[in-house]
């Protein structure tokens, strides 16, 4: 019989292991944060008019010349800020969807939530003649409506991840069909304007868009922080979550609402930047590698993807083409989707 | 004092299809209760009802005399823990992290992770002999190791009443005994009330203080294994002819199935039953 010697087990190795996990998480966050700063500096300094690092710092401190102020503070800074914020919003939205539904394919861009936003925006623009603000509101409403439709269709006394995803994929196809119909009957100039709502772009960032995204993030990030304990319990399946005292169905609904709000806000601001939500969290979890939620690294990776994609679209492609950032993110995300589909049987986490 | 977990006239099922109707059961505190029964007899459903995974469509489950649904979820979780049959874990999770998540109900806004949590997790891992696995990933472990890790997590939750749905399924016989010994040890040393569903009648009889035998959503016998595991009840609950003999190791009743080709032909069930009772008595 084993007795008190065992109940007084040594907790030191556990504390050490936990400290190790925390250290790993922290160093990943530091490296990603550093990378983001570097990319941000490049985005602000490089372009048709390039600045040196001291010039950039001077301009950011408010001591720049008039033209430097205009280029950096009025043109590049809003664009960079918006890219970072929507990167964070998309990444967290995807992370929540994937965690709550326990399915790597459950991301707002795959299951038609951002597609719903596009379709509603294009419908508002082309058919109803909406202006910029009304179109953004339509996009937000479109995302929310599609999410509700999927949720209700997937409901069978509870929501199961794979059913949600399959229905979402079907809805995404319907939404794409609607988009194609709207565009084919529009005239060419209007269709060009609607392009933003097909691929997504952070060009033409306005401070009012930025502030909307910023406020939504400011409200929702603390909520996500508070709910992260429940999210961790939910990672263990509905039954264990309930055994640990977490109401699985209600928690899932709350977290899905938050995820939809993030995706809808970001899409309303910049259009559906494809695959950012889809790839950010899986990359973050692979990099951190501890089985934790890795929400902060995921947010940073989302911001890195959008900023690098925008920088690439602006400066790194040949032929002086200025592409929307969404084309670049799509080019990154599609191979990952193929890889995921090709290897998904191995991990067997489809359901 | 452990509050009593009790099912009072519960009707339980899925999608309006009742599997169990109007069932009463009081779990004896500080004892090991094992629920046995044929497939689809409702034993897992009963366990899920007791652990509030499914809500009764009639009747109620009470904890310490109060409806379990009316009690705050986290509070119940500090008293009643459940290990489901096939729990899932996120990819890449380490053993120490997983076991630590059992502490969730004990943590709150102001009480985050503490050194007490570390000590309880360490004790749970020591009891299940999983300390050496602390830094390993769950997916890299063998089935037996994995099951011990899950039990460690349930122990880290530190419930007074621990419910387990077939904790020995998919384990070889050595690991089955290991897991059951571990639960018995927990019960005898800490007074933890254990309720589990088991398939193996002989292991059930050996480890149970109370045996609940189910058939078609009803309890057909409830009591000490010597009283509940008779040839008659086995025949009734499992449609199986069997001889009951004392387990040579511990004297608990042992079910020896007869089948079509071995032993006495099951054409004289009355006599067989008579024999068996004599053996037990």
Q: What is the pLDDT of residues A205-233, one digit of tens each?
A: 889 889 999 999 999 999 999 999 999 99
Distances (CA, A) of B72 to A158, A245, B4: 21, 8, 17
- What average pLDDT score do residues B190-219 get? 94
Structure-token pair, residue B148 = 């011990």
B78 neighbourhood in chain A, CB within 8 Å: 245
What's the mean pLDDT in A8-35? Answer: 86
> Is-contact A318 B124, C-beta < 8 A?
no
Q: Which residue of A has its CA nearest to B85?
A: A239
Look at residue B22 and give its three-state secondary structure.
strand
More confident: B184 or A46: B184
* pLDDT confidence bin for B182, thresholds 50/70/90: very high
The pLDDT tens digits of the residues spanning A271-330 come to 888 889 999 999 898 888 777 889 999 999 999 999 999 998 888 877 666 778 888 888
Is the pLDDT at B223 greater than 90? The verdict is yes
pLDDT at A281: 92
For residue A65, give Cα distances in angstroms to A60, A68, A74. 11, 5, 13
Count CB-CB contacts under 10 A for residue A27.
11
CB pairs under 8 A between A and B: 133
Q: Which residue has the tokens 């769950």?
A: B138
Please report which residue ranges of chain A form alpha helices under DSSP H: 4-7, 12-45, 53-60, 66-68, 77-100, 113-126, 132-154, 161-184, 188-194, 196-199, 207-234, 238-243, 248-270, 276-288, 295-311, 325-347
Distances (CA, A) of A249 to A100, A168, B198, B238: 10, 19, 29, 36
Question: What's the rounded Cα separation, in Å, for the pair A275 and A105?
Answer: 11
Q: Give the torsion sign (CA, B268, B273, B278, B280).
A: positive
Rounded (10°) angle between helices B115-127 and B173-190: 130
The most confident of A42-46, A190-194, A344-348, B208-212, by mean pLDDT: B208-212
Residue A178 in contact with residue A115, Cβ under 8 Å?
no
Res A344 pLDDT > 80: no
Average pLDDT, chain A: 87
What was the pLDDT predicted at B278?
46
Q: Which of B91, B104, B126 sits opposite A244 (nearest CB)?
A: B104
Distance of alpha carbon B137 from alpha carbon B128, whole angstroms = 17
pLDDT surpasses 50 at A196: yes
Do A76 and A299 touch, CB atoms closer than 8 A?
Answer: no
pLDDT on residue A2: 41
Beta partners for residue B83, in sequence order = B164
Question: Which are the contacts of A50, defined by CB distance < 8 A and separation ≥ 6?
Answer: none
Task: State pLDDT tens for residues A234-285.
Answer: 999 889 999 999 988 899 999 999 999 999 999 999 988 888 999 999 989 8
Q: Which range is least confidently modeled, A96-100, A185-189, A247-251?
A: A185-189
CA distances to A212, A215, B78, B181, B268 from B172, in Å: 58, 56, 31, 14, 35
CB atoms within 10 A of CB B112: 9
Residues in A touching B98 (Cβ below 8 Å) = 236, 291
Alpha helices in A101-202 (DSSP H): 113-126, 132-154, 161-184, 188-194, 196-199
Q: Decide if B132 touches A, using CB distance below 8 A.
A: no
pLDDT of residue A198: 84
Q: What is the pTM of this model?
A: 0.87
For B67-122, what is each residue's pLDDT tens digit?
999 999 889 999 999 999 889 888 889 899 999 999 999 987 666 778 888 889 99
Residues 6+ apart with CB under 8 A from A331: none
Chain A contact for B72 (CB, 8 A cutoff): yes
CA-based nearest residue in chain B for residue A349: B91
Task: Point out the least confidently predicted range of A136-140, A311-315, B108-112, B200-204.
Answer: B108-112
The reported pLDDT for the residue numbered A350 is: 37
Q: If 0-12 CB within 10 Å is exposed, 13-18 middle and 19+ buried, where does residue A342 land? A: exposed
């Amino acid at each position: 019989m084993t007795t008190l010697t065992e109940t007084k087990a040594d907790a030191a190795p556990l504390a050490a292991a936990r400290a190790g996990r925390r250290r790993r998480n922290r160093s990943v966050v530091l490296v990603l944060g550093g990378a983001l700063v570097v990319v941000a500096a490049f985005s602000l300094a490089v372009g048709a008019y390039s600045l040196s690092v001291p010039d950039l710092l001077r301009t950011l401190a408010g001591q720049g010349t008039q033209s430097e102020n205009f280029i950096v503070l009025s043109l590049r800074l809003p664009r960079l800020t918006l890219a970072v914020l929507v990167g964070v919003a998309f990444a967290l939205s995807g992370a929540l969807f994937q965690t709550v539904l326990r399915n790597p394919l459950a991301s707002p861009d795959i299951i038609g939530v951002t597609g719903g936003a596009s379709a509603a925006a294009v419908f508002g623009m082309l058919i109803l003649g909406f202006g910029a603000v009304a179109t953004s509101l339509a996009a937000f409403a479109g995302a929310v409506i599609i999410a509700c439709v999927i949720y209700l269709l997937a409901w069978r006394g509870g929501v199961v991840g794979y059913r949600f995803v399959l229905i979402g994929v079907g809805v995404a196809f319907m939404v794409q069909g609607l988009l194609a119909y709207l565009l084919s009957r529009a005239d060419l100039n209007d269709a060009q304007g609607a392009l933003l709502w097909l691929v997504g772009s952070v060009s033409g960032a306005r401070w009012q868009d930025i502030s909307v995204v910023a406020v939504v993030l400011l409200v929702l990030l603390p909520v996500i922080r508070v709910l992260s304990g429940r999210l961790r319990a939910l990672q263990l399946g509905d039954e264990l979550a309930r055994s640990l005292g977490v109401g699985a169905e209600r928690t899932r609904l709350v977290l899905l609402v938050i995820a939809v709000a993030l995706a809808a806000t970001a899409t309303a601001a910049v259009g559906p930047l494809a695959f950012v939500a889809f790839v950010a969290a899986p990359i973050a979890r692979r990099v951190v590698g501890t089985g934790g939620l890795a929400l902060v690294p995921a947010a940073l990776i989302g911001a890195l993807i959008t900023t690098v994609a925008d920088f690439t679209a602006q400066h790194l492609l040949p032929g002086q083409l200025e592409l929307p950032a969404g084309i670049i993110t799509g080019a990154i995300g599609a191979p990952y989707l193929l890889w995921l589909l090709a290897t998904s049987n191995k991990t067997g986490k489809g359901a | 004092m452990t509050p009593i977990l009790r099912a009072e006239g519960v009707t339980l099922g899925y999608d309006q299809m009742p599997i169990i109707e109007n069932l009463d059961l009081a779990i004896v505190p500080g004892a090991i209760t094992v629920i046995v029964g044929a497939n689809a007899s409702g034993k897992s459903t009963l366990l899920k009802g007791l652990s509030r995974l499914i809500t009764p469509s009639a009747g109620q489950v009470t904890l310490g005399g109060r409806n379990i649904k009316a009690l705050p979820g986290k509070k119940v979780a500090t008293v009643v823990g459940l290990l489901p049959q096939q729990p899932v874990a996120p990819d890449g999770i380490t053993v120490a992290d997983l076991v630590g998540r059992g502490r969730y109900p004990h943590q709150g806004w102001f009480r985050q992770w503490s050194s007490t949590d570390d000590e309880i997790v360490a004790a749970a891992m020591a009891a299940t002999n999983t300390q050496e696995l602390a830094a390993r990933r769950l997916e890299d472990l063998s089935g037996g190791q994995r099951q011990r890790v899950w039990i460690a997590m349930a122990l880290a939750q530190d419930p007074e009443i621990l419910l387990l749905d077939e904790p020995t399924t998919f384990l070889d016989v050595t690991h089955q005994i290991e897991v059951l010994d571990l639960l018995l040890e927990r019960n005898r040393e800490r007074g933890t009330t254990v309720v589990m569903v088991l398939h193996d009648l002989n292991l059930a009889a050996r480890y149970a203080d109370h045996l609940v035998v189910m058939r078609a959503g009803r309890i057909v016998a409830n009591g000490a294994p010597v009283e509940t595991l008779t040839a008659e009840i086995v025949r009734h609950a499992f449609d199986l002819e069997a001889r009951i003999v004392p387990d040579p190791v511990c004297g608990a009743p042992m079910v020896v199935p007869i089948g079509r080709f071995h032993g006495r032909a099951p054409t004289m069930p009355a006599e067989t039953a008579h024999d068996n009772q004599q053996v037990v008595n």
